[in-house]
Amino acid sequence: MDLDATVDILRQLVAFETVSSRPNAQLVDWAAERLRSCGARVLVQHGDEPGKANLFATLGPDDRAGLMLSGHSDVVPVEGQAWSSDPFRLEQRGGRLYGRGAADMKGFIACVLEAAPRLARMRLRTPLHVALSYDEETDMGGMHRLAAHLASAPVRPAGCVIGEPTSMRLVAANKGSACYRVEVRGHSAHSSLRDQGVSAVETAAEIVAFANALQRRLRAGARHDGFEFPFTSVHVGRIEGGTAHNIIARDCAFLLEIRALPGTRSTDVLDEIRAYCDAALLPAMRAIAPECAIAFERVVDTPPLDDRGNAALARAVAPLCGDHGPGCVSFGTEAGILQEIGVPTVVCGPGDIRVAHRPDEYVETTQLDACGRFLAALAPRLEQGDLPLAG
Ligand SMILES: [Zn+2]
């Protein structure tokens, strides 16, 4: 690969301020033009929100399943972070390239776009797909939409590598990532009239305590030693409610987070909490005031990536990226969404997740080189069409 060309592409990608709250379509159109000019067939899939788009491009034959290389085009905000340089102007200091998204995950996208013209000139037996998504950093709505499209396409990819920053280590499993907003509606009254009101704050506290007890039980259940915390986790990260010390609170809401182990689902945990609310809390609340309610609103729910569903792909990719055993990461990725539609997926990309989302995010040029070597090793296998992706 040509490192200068890759850095130049990365510079242009970083300059698109694709923070998730902003449009990403300009970046997608720019990438689409590059890919079309080297002969790719490109689909730009627009989101519901104006200015949001996914990209799905194909090099090689389109009558058979290919390998998809996928990256999210959005980045996290920079507000409140002390950067040493403009986060949207790539700056090289030593062997590091600084900029928002340099690691997470425009570095990977730059490597793929740099390699695309060479891959386009080859006679690929296994097609190569390039996918770019939006809103990965919020609710993964872009990949949910792209996956729905791929699920109904005549041919869907036979496998996918998502280039999240893993320092080019091969990752075959990650936990799910779900957040639900729980809203408790009680019944307000003067606090001296204890029996005439239903405290939403106290009810929320009971649910939080139940979730905490549930966590203790989960520690005795399914376990996966690839993760630092080897169990499904349930956690309440924020709570707000009530008005004053002498008013029985009408409203209280909290954010419930569930990180489900591969092979389990966030809804298993959620259903237990719901059942507890229905059986143990709501009847007594409604006996005092019928409008009392407990509502669960999904903020985000991304399924886990299960390493029992991508073993062949992991074995095929490992020697190409120079890693030996597939590992696990505890951050959520889009991989589980693709696995759910039957596309085996692994995660491997340049850069270190520990600098992602932080001020002075960077990717090392040696990491871009390593990703370039991975793509160079992949190319002849796609040309020969002998990459065993399924099974
Ligand atoms: Zn990312």
**C-alpha of 92 from chain center:** 28
- Asked about 74 being catalytic, the answer comes back as yes
CA of residue 362 to ligand 1 center, whole Å? 13
Quote the DSSP letter at residue 136. T
Q: Quick one: pLDDT at residue 41?
A: 97
CA of residue 309 to ligand 1 center, whole Å? 22
Cross-strand partners of 161: 69, 346
By DSSP bridging, strand 177-185 and strand 251-259 are antiparallel
C-alpha closest to that of 197 among 98, 288, 64: 288
List 91, 104, 114, 136, catalytic entry: 136
Report the chain (391 residues): mean pLDDT per 10 consecutive residues.
Answer: 97 98 98 97 97 98 94 97 98 97 98 98 96 96 98 95 96 95 98 96 98 97 93 96 98 97 95 98 98 97 94 93 82 94 96 96 98 97 87 50
C-alpha closest to that of 378 among 3, 69, 10: 69
Q: Quick one: pLDDT at residue 390?
A: 64
The CATH class, in words, for 177-302 is alpha beta
Q: Quick one: pLDDT at residue 207?
A: 98
Q: How far apart are CA 343 and CA 329, in angstroms?
A: 19
- Asked about 49 being catalytic, the answer comes back as no
| CATH number for the domain whose boundaries are 3-174+304-384 | 3.40.630.10
Residue with structure tokens 């999904």?
Answer: 298
CA of residue 164 to ligand 1 center, whole Å? 5
**C-alpha of 179 from chain center:** 13
Q: How far apart are CA 86 and CA 208, in angstroms?
A: 42
CA of residue 104 to ligand 1 center, whole Å? 5
Residue 315 φ then ψ, to 5°: -65, -35
- The answer to whether 240 and 255 have CB atoms below 8 angstroms apart is no
Domain boundaries, the chain: 3-174+304-384, 177-302
